[in-house]
Structure 1
Amino acid sequence: MTQEKIKLLVVGGPTGSGKSDLALRLAEEIDGEIVNADSMQIYRGLDIGTAKPSPQELARVPHHLIDIVSPDQDFTASDFRREASAAIDDIHRRGKKAIVVGGTGLYLRALLEGLLDSPTGDPELRRQFDAVPGEELLRRLAEVDPETAARLHPNDRVRLVRALEVYTQTGRPISAFRAEHGFSGDHYRAFKMAITVERAELYRRLEARVDRMLELGLVEEVRQLLAQGYSRELKSMRSIGYKEMTAYLAGEMTLDEAVTLIKRDSRRYAKRQMTWFGRENDIYWLEYPAAFASILGHVIEFFG
């Protein structure tokens, strides 16, 4: 007998669109619990700059995968898939409903579709490829894996290097691994939604949020992280808001310049997220808060 898939509500979309607020309201209505899918909110101590839910919001509904690693720990999409799956299974076992919320598209894809079962990275190989121009990388890849090469651009160095790395390590093209394992699906039946926001309004919200972060003490938060010994070169400290503030505290730019960069990079990040989620075929774009009653009705019907 085939095991019934766990029903899962996924709230994605760009930063600043209102995902967290929508998820909180839905969770309170349907007896749900929230699983964080934001790659920065996993870090302890990075609170203001990641727009982490407030203590009051965390008290309203149980949250999972927030504050689970220190800023100097590695945490991959594979780690997220493992931890999120365990949290969702626990929520389901207790008779609650799981709501996965976040804008990290790779995390959501890893959870819902699986990860490619290919070799881990080789730092030495990557250093060798780093010195090779993109056009040459693409030419080399076309010789050994024309299927993958046909989908890539010379500027897409990350995927080019990864594909060549896999071939060099195994003698097999990464397309072969995809054909064998693919993104293999899982035991979830997901209802995916995102909030549609007019771009100018989204950018206005993002800029206002950055100003609010400054009022809440972003500068002091970054100062404390540095004082605790966390290097500005860490992945967590190179994220938007933190890299600019470390540069300011190092005397490399003024506070106004740092704030301007944070706002610019926040807009760019939101644009990339909109592009990512816009490519998803099975995601429902909904207006919030205007259409909350309709959204709630669809969610209740889905879980019913």
Structure 2
Amino acid sequence: MMASDKTLIVVVGPTGIGKTALAIELAQHFSTEIISADSRQFFKEMEIGTAKPSAGELLAAPHHFINSNSITQLFSTGDFEIQALNLIDKLFKEHQLLIMVGGSGLYIDAVCNGLDDLPETDLQIREQLNKKLAEEGLQAIQEQLKTVDPEYYDKVDQSNPQRMIRGLEFFLSIGQKLSSYLTNTKKERPFNTIKIGLNMDRDKLYERINHRVDCMMEAGLMQEVERLQPFRQYNALNTVGYSELFDYLDGNSSLQEAVAKIKQNTRRFAKRQLTWFRRDNSTAWFEPTDSAAVIHHIETLLIKALD
């Protein structure tokens, strides 16, 4: 028996797998709304490189947390947890079911399970690490973090400077590993969750990722990155698809090399996403084309809950 009559359907999986299409189909089938848990799609200035839903897709079902913030604003996982839970509470007054979709595992965990209460860190250390990042590059941060907290290093997005600095800042401030504090103690939520994971043959997924990067370049990703150059110091832009093209604009690579690097880094990111999501045994896995099976699975669980 489920603890509540409200259910959050969570759609997860690697980048480029087809989560948006499934979420829209589910939202239409269940006459409900979609909450995005993609940490890059929050930012209104980043359009092409974040593979946001198209204008048509946004019209096909109500979406939340798409273009909700500016890259110039700090928006943490904790901020998302608070805002998303407030929104979910409000939307559940109108709907029995809601859809949450995204590839940002930490943001999904924050909503479903809650974040751990962590001791405060030394902001001066954060400033020093940001300076180190600017002067020595991300690799220097990665190597230091891998030495002091390999468990945290392996768990998070290694191409995200904010995450890397967070782990290192915690260790240097507290003297203990951040990974040892991440207990994943589940907080009670006033709703049930049904988790749907999407996966497919790895070679086919990598082909889709490579093709999507080519489509982004054709759609004007280079021009988008050029427009964002004045803002490149903001953390939101230290991410796959943007940092490689900034490197090209700095003269550190050819355009062909930069595009190849975007594809490689996106494939690696997809692999890490799958590792993250597979650790949750409550997730039921489907092929992206199996939407009928997904709907049947959800409806079966909802009927069982009424027994």
Q: Calculate the TM-score normalised by the size of structure 2.
A: 0.81
**Match in the other structure for 2:194:** 191
CA distance in 2, matches of 1:135, 1:65: 31
Correspondence list, 1:103-122, <5 A: 103-122=103-122
Aligned-pair distance for 1:154? 9.1
Q: Which moved more, 1:247-256 or 1:62-71?
A: 247-256
Provide the residue aligned with 1:200 in structure 2: 203
Q: Distance in 2 between matches of 1:53 and 1:77?
A: 21
SS in 1 for 2:285: strand
1:40: which partner in 2? 40
Q: Is residue 240–residue 262 contact of structure 1 (8 Å, CA) maintained in 2?
A: yes
Partner residue of 1:263?
A: 263
Structure 2 distance, partners of 1:189, 1:183, is 13
Q: In terms of Rg, which structure is larger?
A: 1
C-alpha distance in 2 between matches for 1:10 and 1:56: 22
The answer (yes or no) to whether the contact 2:105–2:273 under 8 Å persists in 1 is: yes
Q: 1:152 to 1:174 in 2, by over 3 A?
A: closer
- Displacement of 1:96 in angstroms is 5.3
Instruction: Determine what percentage of the aligned residue pairs are the same residue.
Output: 36
Q: What runs of 5+ residues in structure 2 fail to find an aligned partner?
A: 133-139, 156-163
After TM superposition, give the deviation of residue 28 of structure 1 in Å.
0.7
Which residue of structure 2 aligns with residue 209 of structure 1?
212
For residue 90 of structure 1, report the CA deviation from its aligned partner: 2.0
Tell me by how many angstroms 1:255 deviates: 1.3
Give the drift of 1:63. 0.2
User: Aligned to 1:20, what secondary structure does the other structure show?
Assistant: helix
* Structure 1 residues not aligned, in runs of 5+: 139-148
Q: Which residue in 2 is equivalent to 1:162?
A: 170
8 Å CA contact 1:167–1:174 kept in 2: the answer is: no
| Corresponding residue of 1:143 | none
Can you list the C-alpha shifts for 1:115-171, whole angstroms capped at 9, x where unaligned? 112233323345789999969985xxxxxxxxxx8x948989864652563468xxx
User: Where in structure 2 are the equivalents of 1:1-304 lying within 5 Å?
Assistant: 4=4, 6-95=6-95, 97-125=97-125, 152=151, 159=167, 162-163=170-171, 165-166=173-174, 182-226=185-229, 229-230=230-231, 232-289=232-289, 291-304=290-303
CA RMSD of superposed structures (Å):
3.2
How many corresponding residue pairs?
Answer: 283
CA distance change for structure 1 residues 153 and 44 in 2, over 3 Å: closer, same or farther? Answer: closer
For 1:295, the aligned partner's letter is: V
Mapped partners of 1:265, 1:46: distance in 2: 18
Distance 1:191 1:255, change over 3 A: same
